[in-house]
């Protein structure tokens, strides 16, 4: 049931400013406010429509992706032929953090247990140099004719679903989604540091191939797609979701430093990593959404050509996204020597977070489904998505409809997604000290 003006504000005891924010964030009447449309893939036809000077780099990028996709698929097919198999085996799935822990003591990474995981990681590295997501990399070495990816298909696919792959048997084969590829590389770094050069040779080779994968997958404009070689659809967009870009940049920053656990990296790669980080930072600044001449925050994913926000899955609209933007701002604030453009971007994003905070409410799940509920003492909360130009929360459903209240969604989507979050508060807490050293010039 939509929350009325009186029910939404009764007893909350907010300031006038907070009253206005709540009125903007909590709709007075529920409605379908739009229909989600699919993100466009990266294609030769789209490249042909670009200004002439931009075409060569994009053409080379797409051709590289096509060649690598063919090589990856041919490699698996050759294994199937050798084994006399018609279909690949399916590896077991599991969350990456469970099978590749990055928080153990340094000495643990030299143990037989850690080396066993590292050997499995190496065995599941794709010919392109990346890894799939949700792989159980503590189970077994990849077998002849076994797929590089587990079953990552959605259980809710319908006709025209944005998440339906062109080939159900070739899905997320090489991705940055769900911390994939960067986690494998971070784990290998720790194992390499715990072993001598002779013992770590295969892991060093795999790490170097993984870096080459990241270099090859980076767009000419500096961001990264969710899946590479390109799979089509929203997977071809610049992906801030799940920290795909920021985690890649953090890894490359460490490589560029050439110090600590990364001192083993071949001498030419830190220079390339430094250049990749610079291009990635340029992309982040270029994709910051501008409203009425003022910078705000970012979308969950952005078109690689127009740099505008685009849809992800059916229920993920092109919008200003609070959680992914919080991750991006924390990354920018962690830069050791930010230039004026970065400083401006951070101040602008923080202003947007303050403007869109929802005060006096909590998001809770109950027998009737998830909803916002009045709570005078609650800390600020943010909707995941805000409609660009209005500052109002929006919510998507699997049928591609976009709503202005979470209560209107189907029960499965209403309870099965993080529609509200507290991530921007972490930014505001860090910003209090950061802004003292980096004051706004407005």
Which residues are tagged catalytic? Answer: 178, 313
Residue 436 to residues 130, 197, 350, Cα–Cα distance (Å): 40, 45, 14
d(CA 407, CA 153): 27
Maximum distance among all Cα pairs of the chain, rounded to whole angstroms: 72
d(CA 398, CA 383): 18
What length does the chain have?
Answer: 442
CB 202 within 8 A of CB 122: yes
Beta bridge partners of 13: none
H or E segment to which residue 253 belongs: helix 244-257
Beta bridge partners of 358: 381
CB 218 within 8 A of CB 276: yes
DSSP class of residue 223 equals -
d(CA 119, CA 345): 42
Residue 386 to residues 71, 204, 222, 369, 380, Cα–Cα distance (Å): 41, 44, 25, 21, 16
DSSP string, 95-157: -HHHHS-S-S-GGGGGSHHHHHHHHHHHHT--TTS---SSB-TTT-PPPTTB-SS-----TT-
Helix (H, G, I), strand (E, B) or coil at 311: coil
Q: Classify the C-alpha dihedral 220-221-223-229 as positive or negative.
A: negative
DSSP class of residue 378 equals P
The dihedral region occupied by 239, where left means phi > 0, alpha psi between -120 and 50, and beta the remainder, is beta
Specify the residue for token string 């920021």: 246
CB 304 within 8 A of CB 223: yes
**What dihedral do alpha carbons 262, 265, 270, 272 form, nearest 10°?**
-140
d(CA 302, CA 305): 9
Helices 244-257 and 322-333 sit at what angle, rounded to 10 degrees?
10
């Amino acid at each position: 049931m939509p929350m009325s003006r009186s029910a939404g504000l009764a007893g909350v005891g907010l300031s006038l400013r907070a009253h206005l924010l709540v009125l903007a964030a909590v709709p007075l009447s529920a409605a379908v406010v739009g229909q989600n449309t699919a993100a466009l893939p990266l294609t030769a036809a789209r490249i042909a429509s670009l200004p002439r000077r931009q075409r060569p780099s994009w053409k080379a990028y797409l051709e590289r992706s096509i060649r690598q996709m063919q090589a990856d698929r041919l490699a698996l097919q050759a294994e199937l032929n050798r084994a006399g198999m018609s279909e690949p085996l399916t590896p077991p799935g599991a969350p990456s953090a469970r099978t590749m822990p990055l928080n153990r003591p340094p000495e643990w990474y030299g143990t037989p247990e850690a080396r066993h995981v590292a050997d499995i990681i190496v065995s599941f590295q794709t010919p392109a140099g990346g890894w799939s997501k949700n792989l159980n990399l503590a189970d077994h070495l990849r077998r002849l004719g076994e797929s590089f990816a587990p079953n990552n298909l959605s259980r809710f696919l319908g006709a025209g679903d944005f998440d339906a792959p062109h080939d159900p048997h070739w899905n997320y084969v090489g991705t940055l989604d769900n911390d994939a590829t960067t986690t494998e590389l971070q784990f290998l770094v720790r194992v390499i540091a715990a072993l001598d050069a002779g013992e770590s040779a295969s892991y060093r080779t795999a790490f170097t191939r993984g870096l080459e994968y990241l270099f090859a997958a980076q767009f000419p404009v500096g961001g990264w797609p969710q899946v590479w070689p390109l799979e089509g659809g929203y997977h071809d967009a610049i992906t801030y979701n799940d920290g795909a870009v920021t985690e890649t940049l953090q890894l490359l920053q460490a490589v560029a430093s050439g110090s600590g656990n990364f001192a083993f990296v071949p001498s030419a790669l830190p220079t390339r990593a430094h250049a990749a980080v610079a291009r990635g930072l340029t992309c982040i600044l270029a994709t910051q959404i501008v409203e009425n001449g003022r910078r705000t925050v970012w979308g969950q994913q952005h078109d690689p050509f127009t740099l505008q926000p685009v849809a992800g899955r059916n229920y993920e609209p092109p919008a200003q996204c609070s959680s992914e933007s919080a991750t991006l701002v924390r990354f920018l604030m962690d830069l050791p020597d930010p230039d004026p453009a970065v400083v401006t971007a951070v101040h602008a994003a923080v202003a947007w977070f303050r403007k869109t905070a929802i005060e006096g409410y909590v998001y809770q799940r109950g027998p009737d489904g998830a909803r916002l509920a009045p709570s005078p003492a609650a800390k600020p909360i943010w909707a995941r998505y805000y409609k660009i130009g209005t500052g109002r929360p929006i919510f998507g459903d699997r049928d591609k409809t976009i709503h202005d209240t979470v209560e209107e969604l189907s029960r499965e989507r209403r309870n099965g997604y993080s529609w509200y979050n507290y991530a921007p508060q972490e930014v505001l807490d860090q910003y209090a000290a950061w802004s003292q050293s980096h004051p706004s010039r407005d």
